[in-house]
């Protein structure tokens, strides 16, 4: 059973993305891993191909396409070649940073910041996590204080996706220590702002091509026009945007699982042992049957979530379920894929090995899977 999420327009767009991936992604993946960075030329090529900033309205230079199925098509084609780091970068830009700007920036801010997300000239990051505050965002210590008409930001952030290349960073900071959840605000800090520095490029287990960094803010002075949305609404804004972020992670997990399954199936159809194809052994066949069934059932739920998001009815709880389920399934499928490849599954020249190390973060970022269970649990108790 195949997904029925795509219509003819989606498939045409998907063909365009596949051409981009073939031409601009596949030849560069090894170099990206070695450099621990994706070159800006690739971002601009993606912009020229029309696969970035889809939701940007016409008045800001974008296509104004809000059908999220087109984003799913992009993720599917990138997953097909195992370019998880690129997928992570594109998703951070479009599903997170751009989403905040489109939701909360005023017209002047949008004119200033949004057009570059379409062309690939602007790479964004969001700085929430701190050395001592991950999923518990209320524990952050980064502050922003008023000084005349300006704001002055102090603090440090870590594990920031696209932190090295970012042209602008949305910073989550405490603006009122006594206001509880109303004591947080969002600020946009641009590259080159005095006091804003980037630390080391972090050496991660996987996603080697995705630059991840530590960021520091030492008396960073920004004008009032750098406040994103209303003062004190930062935490509420995060809650509003997390469902899309988690849906994006769930989709990335789903399409990765589908791709790895196909790689594995192709491999065991050709590989022989004890005089017959590996895929003909019943024990392995049963494993494949279970995985294929789980993948198709999972896809049905993910597709439903995409449709709910398009309708504006996707809940935070259902997005948490999508993230939890799909990332756990991704782990199971990839682990089986490595095992069924035998020793070759442990060799980095095989995409299944790269998928193995790239996928581990999926159950951590966007809120750990333990937090997803807690969200679902609380909803059950309230009900």
The residues carrying an active-site annotation are 245
DSSP structural state of residue 202: P
Tokens of 322: 């999508």
What Rg do the C-alpha atoms of the chain give, in angstroms? 21
Asked if residue 122 lies in contact with residue 46, where contact means CB atoms within 8 angstroms, the answer is no
C-alpha to C-alpha distance for 232 and 338, rounded to whole angstroms: 47
Q: State the DSSP string of 21-64.
A: IIIIIGGGHHHHHHHTS--HHHHHHHHHHT-S-TTS-GGGTS--
C-alpha to C-alpha distance for 159 and 164, rounded to whole angstroms: 11
C-alpha to C-alpha distance for 334 and 257, rounded to whole angstroms: 7
**Residue 35 exposure: Cα atoms within 13 Å on the Cβ side:** 12
Lookup result for tokens 């006594």: 178
Residue ranges of E strands in the chain: 124-127, 143-147, 150-161, 168-174, 184-190, 196-201, 212-223, 227-228, 272-273, 276-277
Strand bridging mode 212-223 / 227-228: unpaired
What contacts 89, CB < 8 A, 6 or more positions away? 38, 43, 123, 161, 162, 210
C-alpha to C-alpha distance for 195 and 193, rounded to whole angstroms: 6
Residue 17 Cα to chain centre, angstroms: 18
C-alpha to C-alpha distance for 286 and 195, rounded to whole angstroms: 58
Of 192, 159, 12, 10, nearest to 92 by C-alpha is 159
Residues 68, 74, 80, 85, CA torsion sign: negative
Tokens of 352: 């299944």
Tokens of 66: 């809000």
């Amino acid at each position: 059973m195949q997904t029925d999420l795509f219509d003819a327009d989606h498939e045409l767009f998907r063909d365009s993305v596949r051409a981009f991936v073939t031409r601009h992604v596949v030849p560069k993946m090894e170099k990206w891993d070695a450099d621990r960075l994706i070159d800006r030329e690739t971002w601009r090529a993606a912009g020229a191909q029309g696969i970035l900033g889809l939701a940007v309205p016409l008045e800001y230079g974008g296509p104004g396409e809000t059908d999220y199925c087109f984003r799913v098509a992009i993720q599917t084609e990138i997953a097909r070649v195992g370019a998880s780091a690129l997928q992570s970068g594109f998703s951070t830009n479009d599903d997170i940073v751009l989403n905040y700007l489109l939701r909360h920036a005023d017209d002047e801010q949008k004119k200033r910041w949004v057009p570059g997300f379409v062309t690939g000239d602007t790479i964004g990051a969001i700085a929430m996590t701190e050395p001592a505050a991950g999923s518990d965002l209320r524990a952050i210590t980064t502050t922003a204080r008023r000084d005349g008409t300006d704001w002055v930001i102090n603090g440090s952030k870590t594990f920031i996706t696209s932190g090295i290349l970012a042209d602008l960073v949305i910073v989550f900071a405490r603006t009122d220590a006594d206001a509880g959840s109303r004591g947080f605000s969002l600020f946009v800090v641009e590259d080159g702002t005095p006091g804003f520095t980037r630390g080391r490029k972090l050496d991660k287990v996987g996603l080697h091509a995705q630059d991840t960094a530590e960021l520091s803010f030492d008396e960073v002075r920004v004008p009032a026009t750098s406040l994103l949305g209303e003062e004190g609404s930062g935490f509420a804004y995060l809650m509003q945007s997390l469902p899309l972020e988690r849906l994006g992670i769930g989709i990335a997990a789903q399409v990765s699982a589908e791709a790895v399954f196909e790689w594995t199936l192709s491999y065991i159809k050709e590989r022989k042992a004890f005089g017959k194809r590996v895929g003909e052994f019943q024990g392995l066949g049963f494993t494949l049957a279970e995985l294929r069934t789980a993948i198709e059932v999972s896809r049905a739920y993910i597709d439903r979530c995409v449709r709910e998001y398009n309708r504006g009815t996707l809940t935070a709880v259902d997005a948490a379920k999508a993230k939890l389920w799909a990332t756990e399934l991704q782990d199971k499928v990839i682990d089986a894929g490595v095992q069924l490849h035998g020793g070759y599954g442990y060799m980095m020249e095989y995409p299944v090995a790269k998928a193995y190390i790239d996928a581990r973060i999926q159950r951590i970022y966007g809120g750990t899977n333990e937090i997803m269970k807690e969200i679902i649990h609380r909803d059950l108790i309230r009900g």
